[in-house]
Structure 1
Amino acid sequence: MTLRVGVIGTGMIGQDHIRRLTKVLSGVTVTGVSDIDATRAASVAPAGAQVFATAQDLIGSDSVDGVVICSWGPSHEDQLLACIAAGKPVFCEKPLVTSQAAALKVMAAEVAFGRRLVQVGFMRRFDADYRRLKAVIDAGTLGAPLMYKSVHRNASVPEGLYTSEMPLNDTLVHDADISRWLLGEEVAGVEVRVPRRSSRGGDLRDPVVVLLTMRSGAIVDVEISVNVAYGYDIRGEVSCETGIAALPNRPATVITDQFGIRQAIPEDWRERFIEAYDQEFREWIAAAGQGTATGPSTWDGYAATLVADAALRAVETGGSEPVSMCEKPSIYFS
């Protein structure tokens, strides 16, 4: 059976997912697209796909079995609620939503439906390097994890796209989620330190250092820099009781010439995580074909939202801000 998918949002990541769904993966076809820019939606719609006037029209269409949400974050809440009401599996790019209240509303709707329908686009969980790192941690051969260092560096961000808060309420969610997943526990508190600002960032608060205190007492040190110029650089290293384990530098062709010995650095997220994006959609397609969802859940999106909210409070107070969570519903334990 071929899964018929509608894509909401045809910006950069929406277009990349349309390419992935039409040219890379099997068992799926894109039957509809929608975007607030109807001209752009029409220009990127695959042959035979319908261009819907609104996201709600796409979600309600009988020609769509599952939905991929790549729209602006504040629009996710209404779109997710519509997908759940329609009983349609949905892949939602991060952030799940932009407030704790919205996350609780989506969670309540999914719990009332009775099974998982939502997968959140935390692609790092599907990266082979991160999966190997988690396997080392889970095996326990190095003892308990004590500290985790997460580095998230972008060469640059489009002018006007990022506000001063974006590194904390948008970028941080990836590091928060992967830390929770790797260490297998929730975040208890958040602190933020703002060093000297980069002259490349203008008014942007960049870089920032975020300290996450996990419930066990383990500490996660997150460095976020979004204007480092040299490339897209993602790193991770866990310090355990009897050793350390770190992500490898991605293999690349080694060039030796009069300038020295060097390797290429990924230009952006598409290059670094291309295989991870492919794998997360393979797993989503398989689950959605059965009318359900696996992978990062609404609960995980809720947890990341709470960490981002606490980080925004912490940068103002200069202290440690607690992360208080509701009781975890049973459908998110599997």
Structure 2
Amino acid sequence: MNDEIRIAVLGVGKMGSFHVDSLTRRTRGARVTVVGDVSDEQAHRVADPIGARVVADPAEAIAADDVDAVVIATPGSAHEAQVLACLEAGKPVLCEKPLTTEAATAAAVYRRETELGRRLIQVGFMRRFDHEYAALQQMIAGGELGAPLMLHCTHRNPAVPEFFDSEYMIRDSVVHEADSARFLLGEEIAAVSVVRGRPTADAPPGVSDPMLVLFEADSGALVTVEIFVRTGIAYEVRTEVVAEHGSAMIGLDQNVVTKRRGGTWGGTITPDFVARFGQAYDDQVQRWVDAARAGIASGGDAVDGPGSWDGYAAAAICEAGVAAVVKGERIETGMEARSGAGGAMGGVA
């Protein structure tokens, strides 16, 4: 397939607008033809400069004759219907997390795709495309450090909206560690526990920020996640693997140049997730476009990255995490058995 594929982008807030910019300026083989958003003004603000049409109805946008593939960056509550519409239309879709907001509906989407016998859903867990995460995954899979025993993850934001409560911290932030842990360890997460300690004074009443989340992997490996979303400082994401014969850490410098001047030493830290993972987002989109073009041409799979199974697994882990926050108990994820054309757990492809 030599021509550009035509793409509809649904939802053009910060993330969707970034995808439009990436597809338009930094991606080969694709063109944004349709833009949809709940705000007609915002949709036109993004669509008009690139000559794309504005279509308010997501179902109409997905079914449009000038759309070959779809990027979904709408609120999570809309994902289930929109992803299923893409499956029914036979169109590849890159869906931002979450795949759906509940484990049961995510499992149903996975089963529906499996019934089709063709992988069309890619989920936007972009960390798998980050060079440091990919190198660490390869190091673990290659056995260089021996068997992994623990992962220590740090996830900090400078600030978040008021509605970002303890449960939302699990669903919207820790979800990335849920997928990263599966990607790095190459196995599923069996149970989740959450410790709610002393909150920062900047947290709204009743919100536990920070929290310590513990994942138990099938092998017995442990994953600790410090989630702290109101640091007032910057965006910090670090991961360390502790294995039988050594350890390794990523996210230390975050592409920052340190300097010594006037009796001080230091640098700056990335202000947000787009600045930190811009390379990963762009590589993700390019890999997806290449896979979608190939899948459209062949009638086969159109995914090069985490798929519907990975979306379901993350939803199941987060659902257990939310229950652990509410009940203060260790909660098992209770994941279904995988069958058929599941997503890739151990690697990007």
TM-score (norm 1): 0.97
Q: What's the offset of the Cα at 1:249?
A: 2.1
Whether the 8 Å CA contact 1:136–1:245 is kept in 2: the answer is: no
Q: What's the offset of the Cα at 1:301?
A: 0.7
Q: Deviations over 1:136-193 (max 9, x none)?
A: 1111121100000011100111x33423311112111100000001000000110000
What's the counterpart of residue 36 of structure 1? 38
Residue 261 (structure 2) pairs with residue 264 (structure 1): no
Q: How many Å separate the matches in 1 of 2:212 and 2:308?
A: 26
Q: 2:148 aligns with which of 141, 145, 150?
A: 145
What's the counterpart of residue 256 of structure 2? 252
What's the counterpart of residue 88 of structure 1? 91
After superposition, the Cα gap between the structure-2 partners of 1:42 and 1:3, relative to the gap in structure 1 and judged at 3 Å, is same
What's the counterpart of residue 335 of structure 2? 325
After superposition, the Cα gap between the structure-2 partners of 1:318 and 1:161, relative to the gap in structure 1 and judged at 3 Å, is closer
Q: What's the offset of the Cα at 1:27?
A: 0.9
Q: 2:23 aligns with which of 1, 21, 25?
A: 21
Q: 2:7 aligns with which of 5, 9, 25?
A: 5
Moved more, 187-196 or 311-320: 311-320
Alignment of 1:196-235 (within 5 A): 196-203=198-205, 204-235=207-238
Q: How many Å separate the matches in 2 of 1:112 and 1:139?
A: 34
Secondary structure of 1:281's counterpart equals: helix
Whether the 8 Å CA contact 1:311–1:321 is kept in 2: the answer is: yes
What's the counterpart of residue 59 of structure 1? 62
Q: What's the offset of the Cα at 1:278?
A: 0.6
- Contiguous gaps of at least 5 residues in structure 1: none
Aligned-residue identity in percent: 41
AA at the equivalent of 2:277: F
After superposition, the Cα gap between the structure-2 partners of 1:29 and 1:161, relative to the gap in structure 1 and judged at 3 Å, is farther
Q: How many Å separate the matches in 2 of 1:225 and 1:95?
A: 20
AA at the equivalent of 1:54: D
Secondary structure of 1:330's counterpart equals: coil
AA at the equivalent of 2:174: L
- Contiguous gaps of at least 5 residues in structure 2: 296-301, 345-349
TM-score (norm 2): 0.93
RMSD (CA atoms): 1.2
Q: 1:97 aligns with which of 67, 81, 100?
A: 100
Q: 1:306 aligns with which of 307, 312, 316?
A: 316
Residue 52 (structure 2) pairs with residue 49 (structure 1): yes
Q: What's the offset of the Cα at 1:37?
A: 1.0
Q: How many Å separate the matches in 2 of 1:47 and 1:63?
A: 15
Q: 1:186 aligns with which of 185, 188, 194?
A: 188
Q: Deviations over 1:21-75 (max 9, x none)?
A: 1111111100000011111101111432110021111000010000000000000
Q: What's the offset of the Cα at 1:326?
A: 1.3
Secondary structure of 1:200's counterpart equals: coil
AA at the equivalent of 1:304: A
Alignment of 1:119-130 (within 5 A): 119-130=122-133
Show structure 1 runs of 4+ deviating over 3 A. Answer: none
Whether the 8 Å CA contact 2:62–2:70 is kept in 1: the answer is: yes
Whether the 8 Å CA contact 1:110–1:116 is kept in 2: the answer is: yes
Number of residues paired by the alignment?
333
AA at the equivalent of 1:227: R
